[in-house]
Chains A and B, each alone.
Chain A
Amino acid sequence: MSEAILTVEHLTMRFGGLLAVNDLSFEARRGDITAVIGPNGAGKTTVFNCITGFYKPTQGRITMRHADGRTHLLERLADFRIAQEAKVARTFQNIRLFSGMTVLENLLVAQHNPLMSASGWSIGGILGLPAYGRAERRAIEKAAYWLDKCGLTDRADDPAGDLPYGPQRALEIARAMCTEPELLCLDEPAAGLNPRESLVLNDLLRFIRKEHGTSLLLIEHDMSVVMEISDHVVVLDYGIKISDGTPPEVREDPKVIAAYLGVDDSEVEKVEAEVGL
């Protein structure tokens, strides 16, 4: 068992009178694919938004531990620093691409920070110093690499808004990967994908973990994705963690079944039989 890359401790998020997340603690381990699942309104996306800095949690601590031993307390960082310094990248449930920019440009925007310093904070870039030209060529190479991995090379010069839904999801993941994250957070990556696209996505996620050593944290509704690729599953309901373990463990957990299928405990067995568990 490897060390934890992300530790969430006593996370609580309150919106006015609504307690969206209540005293949640869990760990995501380095090199693992960790899934956070739960019914609608369980607080999954809120947890994500706290981790990636879009919300400031009411209470709790979120620690990101890098391979070199540095740690970041994410709840104290501004959202853009979480991507820039803590190396946590994310995708969005409702895809947020730069739709008027080309696919390639989307991937170049993701490499903003290294390119920015290469351009001498624009001064060298305006003067046309060669260092920036080299940096930009490297950035385009890197973008081309990810386009190849997502099968989008042919569409590189099309506007991102022109892509079909599935490739848009893939592009969003590629864009997040271009920031070279250590932890990639995916908000329902399989939502709206057909079964074939879903399989391709699984392969892409496995590839990312294996070849780039990036740990993954994902929110998912699609059980086939969760059960097939995750190493570790955290189940939320009403902002509380109700189960935590390997996919088989979680699958057996009657509380999870009850929460997911909304049945009485007495009916659990019947339902289990129906869904083939």
Chain B
Amino acid sequence: MTSATDPNFARPAPPTPVARAAREALFAAIIALGVFGPLLAFRTTQDMQNRLIVETRYGLIAIVVLLVFAGRFLLSLWFTRERPEAGPALGARLSGLMPQGLRDIVRTGLPPAALVALFVYPMMILSLTGGSGALKWIDNFGIQILIYVMLAWGLNIVVGLAGLLDLGYVAFYAVGAYAYALIATKVIPATFPGLGVWAFWICLPVAGILAAFWGVLLGFPVLRLRGDYLAIVTLAFGEIIRLVLINWTAFSNGYEGISTIPRPSFFGVPFNASDTGFAATFGLEFSPVYRTIFLYYVIVCLALITAWVSNRLRKLPVGRAWEALREDEIACRSLGINTVNTKLTAFAIGAMFGGFAGSFFAARQGFISPESFTFMESAVILAIVVLGGMGSLIGTAIAAVAMIGGTELLRELDWLKAIFGRDFDPAQYRMLIFGLAMVAIMVWKPRGFVSTRMPTAFLRSRRAVSADHVKEGHG
């Protein structure tokens, strides 16, 4: 339907591919001039007197338009050569480029390999960098990505399995983080100061339970809602919680956030330079890297627990009910499934993992503020779930590594300054590229990286269900 009416494709007598590509490229270039022109050719900026003035950047817009022209030209040429009649949409044509066997390799070989890599990663980094640079690689890449993997796996229960579109997942992350921060900085010092070193291990389950409770609380009113409406209401809830955290300063200290949150201990042994600290206890030289490595293994365990539990639940009646709910809610009710409880369980369990992750986040940062829990975080987590392929743990993990790791890598591209000049900071393009990647991946593979579904039980043989049959849920 799309290509049939497209002026670019449906030409009665196609000219030579090159002429056609040139024409399409020219059209694209004109459009690009219009789209990018105002904002790229002119830049508003403050002058010495702090007044707004307009600067011109004609060179930049010329480069961009030329790039669009060249890109579109090559793309048209490439695709006309592939398929002269130019059939399906761009996305479908692009996915033809993906190797056929990749999906099977991903499913069978990747999980064990990834697991091994996960456990040796800090050691590998340590030996490669010799300690000094290791902190950044373990923390920014390892821990950072794993937090997102865990969050995405938690949200996957709600969105991927139960088909309930949740755009406010970050609220539960915030509940977990604030639960840990407030209990560890206010409640424990006031009641049982001796338990200080155990704070993280006491608060972790509490944070999870609190988040699950909030999951039920916020899940209850939205039970009847479907699809985009559910997404918007959950977005509203997420924003309300963030705005309350900002404005209710007596409770949360507002924008200032909560600092000096106690860091986790090695099961009672703190990571400090004292005689009872981790390094002294184990006869090592003190280094902050031990805590980072410990945190890394904590989040690895938390993420693996999330994966294990959700995988297990999927094969239990409740998990089947979630998936059935995603497929057809009315049929579920006709089979005696209590859809209210089923949905609330999904919300609660998803929220619980969000709470665990939040509490870990607070412990890792030592400081939290409402800035960390914006809508953008929810969008990023949801994007990871959808890009990975809803319901697929492997796909989700791949998406998290690609999206978070990929954008994080931009911080490492300092050599680009040599090309683009001293003011060029690749990191500020992080979210721009993230957004572009979201759009591109959706157009390329609308059902995500791993779109097939593995059955939870079989009579003779387990065969993957293709994405064409799997529904995405109405809620």
Contact = CB atoms under 8 A, between A and B. Distances in A.
A–B touch (CB < 8 A): the answer is yes
Interface of A: 52-54, 79-84, 89-90, 92, 96-102, 104-105, 108-113, 115-116, 119, 121-122, 125-126, 132, 136, 140, 143-144, 147, 153, 156-162, 175-176, 179
B318 A122 contact: yes
Interface in B416-475: 453, 455-463, 465-466, 468-471
Contact of A100 (B309, B327, B331): B327
Given A108-B320, A112-B320, A112-B321, A83 B457 contact: no
Closest 7 CB pairs of A and B: A100-B470, A83-B336, A84-B336, A161-B469, A98-B327, A156-B459, A96-B331
Of B330, B465, B471, the most chain A CB neighbours within 10 A belong to B465
B317 A119 contact: yes
A110 B334 CA distance: 9
Nearest to A96: B331
B324 A132 contact: no
B313 interface: yes
Contact of B469 (A82, A84, A125, A159): A159
A147 B337 CA distance: 22
Contacts of B333: 53-54, 79-80, 83
B140 interface: no
Contacts of A97: 327-328, 331
B186 interface: no
B343 to A, nearest CB: 12
Nearest to A53: B333
Given A99-B471, A109-B320, A179-B335, A126 B457 contact: no
B316 interface: yes
Contacts, number: 146
Interface in B346-378: none
Given A81-B336, A109-B332, A156-B459, 4 more contacts: A96-B331, A119-B316, A122-B313, A125-B318
Of A82, A83, A100, A122, the most chain B CB neighbours within 10 A belong to A100
Nearest to B469: A161
A147 B459 CA distance: 11
Nearest to B461: A157
Given A112-B317, A126-B312, A100 B337 contact: no
A121 B334 CA distance: 20
A104 B458 contact: yes
B291 to A, nearest CB: 31
A80 B469 contact: no
Contacts of A102: 455, 457-458, 463, 465
Given A54-B330, A96-B330, A116 B335 contact: no
A89 B469 contact: no
A102 B458 CA distance: 8
A147 B312 CA distance: 26
Contacts of B338: 80, 84
A101 B323 contact: yes
A101 B161 CA distance: 12
